[in-house]
Chain A
Amino acid sequence: MKDEWIQKQVEAGQAPEGQEGELYKIVFSALKQEAGFKLPSDFAGRVAAAATRPAKSFNWDLFFLVFGCTLCVTTSLYVIITSHATLSVGVFSFFSGYRWLIGFALLFIGLLNWVDKKWISKAAIH
């Protein structure tokens, strides 16, 4: 109750006597100080420009991506057909002798990722 009264007095510009009043005056004065963080001077200009920028009428990035992929697939098919190539596992047949080791490695990496996500990352945040 006493604190509430002192806070009201200090806020109203009165100067209550005693140590509590003095301490509250320091607190109220500090609360009027600007926070340390300030936005850069060009912030308003940059954000306004980004927000009002007209939307692209044609997405050239997407066009080149689709065009490139189509060209790549078409060329690959043409080469496969004209060269009478046959599909084979080739160098990957080497792995068949180590299937348990590879299986274990994949499982182990997966487990490590799970442990990291579940326990370690959370601990790092706190």
Chain B
Amino acid sequence: MIDDRALAARVAEGNKHAFELLIRKYERLVAHMVGRVINNAEDLEEICQDVFLKVYEKISEFNFQSKLSTWIATIAYRQAINHLRKKKIELADLPDDEKLEERFIADTNTVELIEEDEMESVVIKLIEKLPTHYRVVLTLYHLENMNYAEIGEATGMPEGTVKNYLFRARQLLKEKIKTYLGKEV
């Protein structure tokens, strides 16, 4: 398996095969990151493509002060957020909203929508209802195995905020299924 430094050097030289390898290696990460920010399935592939084109354009400037995966995640995050701004979709669901927890747990639409599903599928659907920043942090931590510092670097959030969002997001999900189970009994 070719290491990231060698791969990046070959991509910077314009090697098509190397770039295809790089895309295959990181397409899952980019799809997860973009998919957690953008809900519109039609735009997802196009944004992922833009992310990799940006990677290709800028890779000669990348100096490995961070991991390649963190750098690509940063580009993916910014590209997705810029897309929301361009479409004038506000990040209205910022997790700093104090009433968020009350609203999330009290939202009965989600429960009605998922009542036929298994418990794990229920949680997966609930994740989609979480604020964007929570979804991004959860995905990078649990699916991409990034640590707090790497998530902070990719998203521009302080490490403390990342830690706090992770804790609150999991707690919200737990409280929601607790409420859900309480109604089922």
**Do A and B assemble together?**
yes
Chain B residues, CB < 8 A from A46: 49
Q: How far is the CA of A39 from the CA of B16 in the complex (A)?
A: 19
CA distance A30 to B174 in the complex (A): 11
A51 within 8 A of B: yes
Chain B, residue nearest A21 (CB): B174
Q: Known pairs A30-B173, A51-B52. 7 more at Cβ < 8 A?
A: A3-B167, A28-B142, A33-B120, A38-B31, A47-B53, A50-B49, A51-B53
Chain A residues near B (Cβ < 8 Å): 3-4, 7, 19-20, 23-24, 26-40, 43-52, 122, 125
**Between-chain CB contacts (< 8 Å), 23 pairs:** A4-B167, A23-B174, A24-B170, A27-B123, A30-B124, A30-B173, A31-B142, A33-B124, A34-B143, A37-B41, A39-B48, A43-B23, A43-B49, A44-B23, A44-B27, A48-B20, A51-B52, A51-B53, A51-B56, A52-B14, A52-B16, A52-B56, A122-B88
A7-B167 in contact given A37-B31, A52-B19 (Cβ < 8 Å):
yes
Residue interface bits B24-53, CB-to-A below 8 A is 1, else 0: 100100011001100001001100110011
Closest to B16 in A: A52
Is A43 a contact partner of B48 (Cβ separation < 8 A)?
Answer: yes
CB distance from A33 to the nearest CB of B (A): 6
Task: Check if B5 is an interface residue, CB within 8 A of chain A.
Answer: no
Asked if A27 and B170 make an inter-chain contact with CB atoms under 8 angstroms apart, the answer reads yes
- The residue among A29, A34, A50, A52 with the most chain B CB atoms within 10 A of its own CB is A52
Instruction: Note all chain B residues with C-beta closer than 8 A to A43.
Output: 23, 27, 45, 48-49
B170 touches A40 (CB 8 A): no
Residues of B within 8 A of A (CB): 14-17, 19-20, 23-24, 27, 31-32, 35-36, 41, 44-45, 48-49, 52-53, 56, 87-89, 119-121, 123-124, 127, 138-139, 142-143, 167, 170-171, 173-174, 177-178, 181
B28 → chain A closest CB, angstroms: 8
Whether A20 contacts B174 by the Cβ 8 Å rule is yes
Q: Interface on chain B toward A: helix, strand, loop, or mixed SS?
A: helix
A3 to B172 Cα, complex, angstroms: 11
Q: Does B31 lie within 8 Å of A50, measured CB to CB?
A: no
B88 touches A40 (CB 8 A): no
A122 to chain B, nearest CB (A): 7
B48 in contact with A23 (CB, 8 Å): no
Q: Is the CB of A31 within 8 A of B138?
A: yes
